[in-house]
A and B are shown apart, each in its own frame.
Chain A
């Protein structure tokens, strides 16, 4: 099979998988609905309970899962290549900790007035993630040259612990309700209950995906070494900047929409590599689609497994992802 055919097949198979998952997931839930009735045009929407459950109650949530899962998985791929470390995640470089700090401050201070119709918590968390990205980026920028991946990693890890310490400190000072809300946010929640948050998160994610589209061939070489890449003609510094900033933007937007849902950014890329190999022209799109399908599936489990109780989706992904991550560690020695 030629490389072109393999790329096309990857888009087709994984794309189809994602679409089918997104169409099936809204049918599952505490109330059973009928697929044919949902799309039955003869019944007016106002009287079609099945269609209302499908389009109003469940589809926004499924699409949020698809958007978050796809952004986190694709960002994971990009950061793993940038850091040449298959165990890197979208949260390695401090983006999620910044987002969590922002969200927690908004929750604790009970900020209610949003900007332009968007609520305060996602805005605060997005701002927090951008702040973290700014700090890490400016630390890692070597004069006249590219990004130091060592500094990126160290700054990111340090920022993660520092922000976590700040979060704990504020938690210590806050009352029980606020603490509970923050903890709940940290577990991840895709219950968006309308299309508005999706509309807010989509543009930055789309922008990042546009940048991702330009990266795969350069990332193949960058994942070998900066020197090899430069000698093959890759503009290493530009690629590094583009990779870091776009992956961080997508992660920040995804976290502000669904909370820091863990393990997607590592589980999905690794499963995908087992299936399609390491070429980023296959890994990146397959992970984007696969991440969407994976998170939508996990969220379906989370809202239906113990219905009417809802297991936070971050708990579900962690229960699957944790053991998987350990298996990877052992496998990589």
Chain B
């Protein structure tokens, strides 16, 4: 199935002139896909995600959203079609969980518009979808890492919800209106600082959102098993270049992983999950870790 919603065409990017962080990257994300950007530390995963999110513009090449060059799209329009979940969210001020979710409605309102009951309902619905509605009146800062991450995902879902602004929206008409533009959720290392139980929690939330509402999900991660358990497709990023891209099963393969991480791995299929499991065995003798 190739119905690309996000396309990167020969993009290069550098934060300063000396070192390219991404060079000549070409990749594409299909509508409804669940894609992982995989690579070791410093391979440019986060930068690629920022590029996809339109937070930075490529020095060369271009990034297309639904076929349109992102540079020609207004920030607000971009924000109603895709949302970014940063690696960690630490608040300097005490917002409640509901306030955090309601903030996702930002791009849907004018400068002096105030969220009415409908907007609040969208936010609460988003919390419900990530299983955090019961926390709505708690202070965000008092939540566990996994709860925080799910609330931030809920805020991103509230941001993507266009239902209210569609003129003839109804339960049956919803599918049609949703398909016109993409709904893309980008997550930067969503489990990097989380315990195992929370990792599973985030994984199932993302899988469910992808399944039930056709949300396109792009996740950057260095965790092979997290990627193996969640993603259907992978983009392998090695020092700013795309090493390979394709279906997860064909990407999780000894030679590629050795090239990517410089380690020998055993890859088996877990009998209980039916997903590939990657066990690092030894540093590859010819590994060049830089």
Contact = CB atoms under 8 A, between A and B. Distances in A.
A81 B92 CA distance: 8
Contacts of A235: 75
B107 A278 contact: no
Interface stretch (B34-42, B82-90, B281-289): B82-90
B59 to A, nearest CB: 12
A328 to B, nearest CB: 13
A277 B96 contact: yes
Interface of B: 50, 53, 55, 75-76, 78-80, 82-84, 86, 89, 91-96, 99, 102-104, 106-107, 109, 111, 114-117, 120, 159
Interface in A146-175: none
Given A84-B92, A232-B106, A3 B84 contact: no
Contacts, number: 81
Interface in A15-69: none
A277 B89 contact: no
Contacts of B116: 2, 4
Interface residues of A, number: 30
Given A220-B95, A224-B95, A277-B95, 8 more contacts: A2-B117, A3-B114, A217-B106, A217-B109, A217-B111, A218-B106, A232-B106, A278-B94
Contacts of A217: 106, 109, 111
Contacts of B94: 273, 277-278
Given A232-B106, A233-B75, A7 B114 contact: yes
A193 interface: no
A230 B55 contact: yes
B89 A225 contact: yes
Contacts of B82: 231
A279 interface: yes
A279 B117 CA distance: 17
A3 B114 CA distance: 7
Contact of A86 (B78, B93, B109): B93
A227 interface: yes
